[in-house]
Structures are given as structure tokens and as C-alpha cells.
């Protein structure tokens, strides 16, 4: 019970339906609940989110679903108020919501650029900003930002995604320095190529899949659970001396 007594809000957590491919947020929600946390799942996919939370409750866990568009400040304020009204406090925030856009620099429109920045940079900023006052009230907390290995290194495409994930990576370090003395820890997680609902269609092409596995020294693509285990560590008190760090979970891709 590594999170016993803790209350966690996880964005992008709708994709946790049992029997389907899970996303990082959905897998984290199940893992957090099994480790004793009360979990608030937040997303814009209300149907899937309610289904996931319902399955968790059916299994005896304390889980709630909330609609949350991470690009809207009022949604964040409302989500934290609802979390504290239901559970009395906030200990952990997982900024996981994400999208993708596979375009090179010259193919990237202003709309694509803004959309990526809104979700991955602005959304992370708003969530962190509104979580801090609630974490102060309980003497600290853990904020985990799900960036990407593509927030560290480049690739032949996803230009705006790179820029936005790189922004969230450095934002985590800035926030970590600003709130360390208040026992509010901020760290980033950097997944590599992993099977999720977001990558399912793109990774299903056999030739592309072989290329991705060939680039991964461990010899397989990641699973949502691989990333969720790292998120769990950063949420738990086991990482109480860890802040401003980057946890790369990529099967060795960026070690090359």
C-alpha cells in the first residue's frame, strides 16, 4: 500500500477500461488505487472516463471521474474544488493529458503549434498552479508531469510536440526549485515508444513497428504499466528526496 491515505488527481485518465489497451493515465489510476490511493480520473472523454471509474468502484476502489479540459483554467479550479470536497485534500497531481501532431517544421500550421502548446505546456502550467495552494494546506505533495523522450531528443517529425514536451520538462525543473522548501516535489517522466490508444493506429503498421522495436535496445515496445510504475514511484514517499528530476522510461532509446 505505497499510496495509502493519499488523494490523487490524474489527467488523461479515461483510457483505463479493463480488457482494452490502456493509456498512461488509466494504467496509473488502477495502480494508484491498488496501492491505497483515492483517485480522481480527469479527462474530456466522459464516456470512457465514467466507464473506467465505474469498473474501479466495482472492484472496491474509491474512484471518481471529472470532466476536465486541461487548457481551461476554470476547469482546473473546479476539478480541485470537487476533489477536496469529495476527499478532503490533494496529495498527488499527475499531469498526463496529451495529444500528438506528426508534422515537420514547414508542415506545422499555427493552429497545430498552438494546440500542442495549449495541452502540453499551458495545461501543465495551469494544473500545477492550481494544485500548489491545496498541497500547501497538507504540508506538501507530488506533482508528476508526463513529458516524453521527445522532450529531450529530436526526431524526423512531431515538431510542435517536441517543443511542447520540452517546455513541460523545463517547467518541471523551475517549479521544483520554487516549491522545494514547501515539500512540494515536481518531476517529469519521459516515456519512449509505448503501445497506448494514442499510438495504436500509428504503431500497427508492421514495417513501422519493426523499425520502432529495432531502435529500442530492450527489444520491445513499452506498455502503459511500464510508465505507470515510474509514476507510482514519484507519487509515493519513496521518492521524497527526488525533485526536479527526469525519469526516462524508454527501453534504452535515448541511451544510444
What confidence tens digit (pLDDT) does each residue in 6-34 have? 999 999 999 999 999 999 999 999 999 99
Q: Taking residues 46-64, report their average pLDDT.
A: 98
CATH topology of domain 7-255: Rossmann fold (3.40.50)
Helix%, strand%, coil% for the chain, nearest 5: 50, 15, 35
Distance separating alpha carbons of residues 164 and 249, to the nearest angstrom: 19
* Cell 494544485 belongs to residue: 131
Mean pLDDT over the full length of the chain:
97
Half-sphere exposure of 37 (CA within 13 A, CB side): 29
List residues with catalytic annotation. Answer: 161
46 pLDDT band, cuts 50/70/90, is: very high
Q: Where are the domains of the chain?
A: 7-255
> What pTM was estimated for this model as a whole?
0.97
Amino acid at each position: 500500500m505505497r499510496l495509502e491515505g493519499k488523494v490523487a488527481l490524474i489527467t488523461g485518465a479515461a483510457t483505463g477500461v479493463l480488457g482494452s489497451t490502456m493509456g498512461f493515465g488509466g494504467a496509473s489510476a488502477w495502480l494508484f488505487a491498488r496501492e491505497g490511493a483515492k483517485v480522481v480520473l480527469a479527462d474530456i472523454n466522459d464516456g470512457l472516463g465514467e466507464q473506467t471509474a465505474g469498473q474501479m468502484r466495482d472492484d472496491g476502489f474509491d474512484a471518481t471521474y471529472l470532466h476536465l479540459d486541461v487548457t481551461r483554467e476554470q476547469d482546473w479550479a473546479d476539478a480541485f474544488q470537487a476533489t477536496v470536497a469529495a476527499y478532503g485534500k490533494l496529495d498527488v497531481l499527475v499531469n498526463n493529458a496529451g495529444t500528438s501532431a506528426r508534422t515537420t517544421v514547414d508542415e506545422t500550421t499555427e493552429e497545430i503549434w498552438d494546440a500542442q502548446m495549449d495541452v502540453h505546456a499551458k495545461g501543465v502550467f495551469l494544473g500545477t498552479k492550481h494544485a500548489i495552494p491545496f498541497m500547501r494546506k497538507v504540508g506538501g505533495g507530488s506533482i508528476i508531469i508526463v513529458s516524453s523522450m521527445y522532450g529531450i531528443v529530436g526526431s524526423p517529425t512531431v515538431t510542435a510536440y517536441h517543443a511542447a514536451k520540452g517546455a513541460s520538462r523545463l517547467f518541471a525543473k523551475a517549479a521544483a526549485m520554487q516549491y522545494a522548501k514547501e515539500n512540494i516535489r515536481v518531476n517529469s517522466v519521459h516515456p519512449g515508444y509505448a503501445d497506448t490508444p494514442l499510438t495504436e493506429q500509428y504503431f500497427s503498421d508492421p514495417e513501422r513497428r519493426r523499425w520502432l522495436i529495432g531502435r529500442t535496445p530492450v527489444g520491445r515496445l513499452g506498455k502503459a504499466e511500464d510508465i505507470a510504475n515510474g509514476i507510482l514511484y514519484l507519487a509515493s514517499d519513496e521518492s521524497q528526496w527526488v525533485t526536479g528530476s527526469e525519469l526516462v522510461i524508454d527501453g534504452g532509446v535515448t541511451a544510444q
